[in-house]
């Protein structure tokens, strides 16, 4: 039994077309209704319209990525109860349209963060890169977040000061622009005023409180999802540690255990992202699969290469710190045991060949993801012949 191969599609305005994804050999598409403001209901008509586009190209839509959780829900402020009610209604509408897996995340304010979205690899390809000193310099000297210095060691601040003193204005501006990127599916960027106001709205919300808010949300929505036959899949934090003084609570194996234990249900599950989890050397991916495999409903397979300073870049899918051969082998055995073909997508491909001339959402060019998908497909087939 092989994984259900998919790619992410950001909708009709995505430069990567559905026909491109079909030519890559994908069975399914992972998408979301990015045009609908966060916190509002996804109506059946809009879901059906998107589903029809995908099916017209001979593929299926079974995974939503993502049905976003509003900042009000994360903070338990403002209209959070209304937003939870709308979230439940969206779940009902998605189930009525045949969608099976709902991905979401609980990262406050910012989604994934990188300092360089066109890091040049030795091959000439371009990758996503996170440079810790550059990000601390952004926080301290560009964003100028109040009391930011309290969140870093003197050594880390000294490294950021050195970075600031030795880099040109153009390089600083590039880091600023990259750090301020908006949510996936968006072409906009945050402004410093927006970021600082959002950070201020989380004042007093520490790790324990944010976890309590997540568990409250899950107690509300998981029973609904279970009654509808849906699977909820939380995406790990990216990167998996605090950012801009904000807690991040889906970063470690213990975080994942806590989430599953908060609402015991087959509908309460995980998006296993080998890249996000693999950035932390203390995350044992094989142990996570062995312990929590029954709760994995969606797979993001990508690889990263990290160093001791906390920097990392998106490596080739089969050549990074993650032992992808061992991971895929464990996942194939897991699927055989569960008798299920888990949906998978190659995550964050490199910019290769003529994709250098195109403007795509960072990490989502067509050719790099096609390369990753082909490598993962070949790995699956090779391992399956050994395991059979």
Q: How many residues does the chain have?
A: 388
Residue 347 known to be catalytic: yes
Structural tokens at position 273 = 């992202």
Residue 111 known to be catalytic: no
Alpha-carbon distances, residue 312 vs 56, 194, 210, 240, 250 (angstroms): 39, 27, 26, 12, 19
152 torsion bin: left (phi>0), alpha (psi -120 to 50), beta (else)? beta
Structural tokens at position 231 = 């699977």
Alpha-carbon distances, residue 83 vs 48, 68, 220, 227, 357 (angstroms): 22, 10, 11, 20, 40
Helix (H, G, I), strand (E, B) or coil at 113: coil
Residue 271 known to be catalytic: no
Cα–Cα distance measured from residue 67 to residue 93, given in angstroms and rounded to the nearest whole number: 12
Q: Which of 83, 235, 317, 350 is catalytic?
A: 235
- The label of the residue with tokens 């600082």 reads 196
Q: Which of 300, 321, 350, 355 is catalytic?
A: 300
Residue 350 known to be catalytic: no
Torsion angle of alpha carbons 278, 211, 90, 234, nearest 10°? 10
Q: Which of 255, 347, 350, 355 is catalytic?
A: 347
Q: Which of 83, 213, 297, 348 is catalytic?
A: 348
Residue (of 133, 114, 270, 130) closest to 189 by Cα position? 114
Cα–Cα distance measured from residue 103 to residue 210, given in angstroms and rounded to the nearest whole number: 19
Q: Which of 80, 87, 104, 364 is catalytic?
A: 364
- The label of the residue with tokens 């970021």 reads 195
Cα–Cα distance measured from residue 212 to residue 290, given in angstroms and rounded to the nearest whole number: 26
Q: Which of 72, 119, 273, 295 is catalytic?
A: 273
Residues involved in catalysis: 235, 273, 300, 347-348, 364
């Amino acid at each position: 039994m092989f994984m259900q191969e998919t790619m992410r599609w950001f909708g009709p305005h995505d430069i990567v077309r559905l026909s491109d994804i079909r030519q890559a050999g994908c069975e399914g598409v992972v998408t979301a209704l990015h045009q609908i403001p966060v916190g509002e209901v996804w109506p059946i008509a809009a879901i059906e319209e998107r589903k029809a586009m995908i099916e017209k190209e001979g593929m299926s839509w079974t995974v939503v990525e993502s049905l976003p959780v509003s900042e009000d829900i994360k903070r338990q402020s403002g209209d959070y109860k209304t937003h939870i009610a709308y979230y439940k209604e969206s779940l009902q509408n998605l189930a009525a349209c045949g969608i099976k897996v709902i991905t979401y995340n609980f990262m406050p304010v910012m989604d994934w963060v990188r300092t360089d979205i066109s890091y040049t690899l030795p091959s000439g390809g371009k990758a996503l890169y996170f440079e810790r000193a550059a990000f601390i310099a952004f926080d301290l000297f560009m964003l100028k977040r109040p009391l930011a210095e309290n969140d870093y060691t003197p050594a880390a601040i000294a490294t950021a000061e050195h970075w600031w003193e030795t880099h040109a204005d153009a390089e600083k501006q590039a880091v600023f622009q990259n750090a301020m990127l908006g949510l996936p599916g968006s072409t906009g960027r945050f402004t410093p005023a927006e970021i600082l106001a959002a950070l201020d709205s989380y004042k007093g919300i520490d790790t324990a409180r944010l976890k309590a808010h997540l568990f409250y949300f899950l107690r509300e929505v998981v029973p609904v999802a279970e009654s509808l036959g849906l699977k909820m899949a939380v995406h790990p934090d990216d990167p998996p540690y605090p950012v801009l003084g904000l807690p991040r609570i889906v970063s470690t194996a213990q975080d994942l255990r806590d989430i599953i234990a908060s609402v015991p249900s087959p509908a309460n599950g995980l998006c296993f992202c080998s890249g996000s989890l693999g950035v932390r050397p203390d995350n044992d991916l094989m142990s996570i699969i062995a312990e929590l495999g029954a709760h994995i409903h969606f797979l993001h397979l990508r690889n990263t290469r990290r160093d001791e300073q906390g920097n990392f870049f998106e490596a080739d899918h089969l050549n990074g710190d993650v032992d992808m051969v061992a991971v895929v082998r464990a996942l194939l055995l897991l699927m055989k045991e569960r008798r299920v073909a888990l949906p998978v997508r190659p995550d964050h491909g490199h910019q290769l060949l003529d994709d250098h001339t195109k403007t795509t959402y960072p990490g989502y060019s067509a050719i790099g993801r096609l390369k990753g998908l082909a490598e993962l497909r070949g790995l699956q087939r090779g391992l399956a012949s050994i395991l059979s």
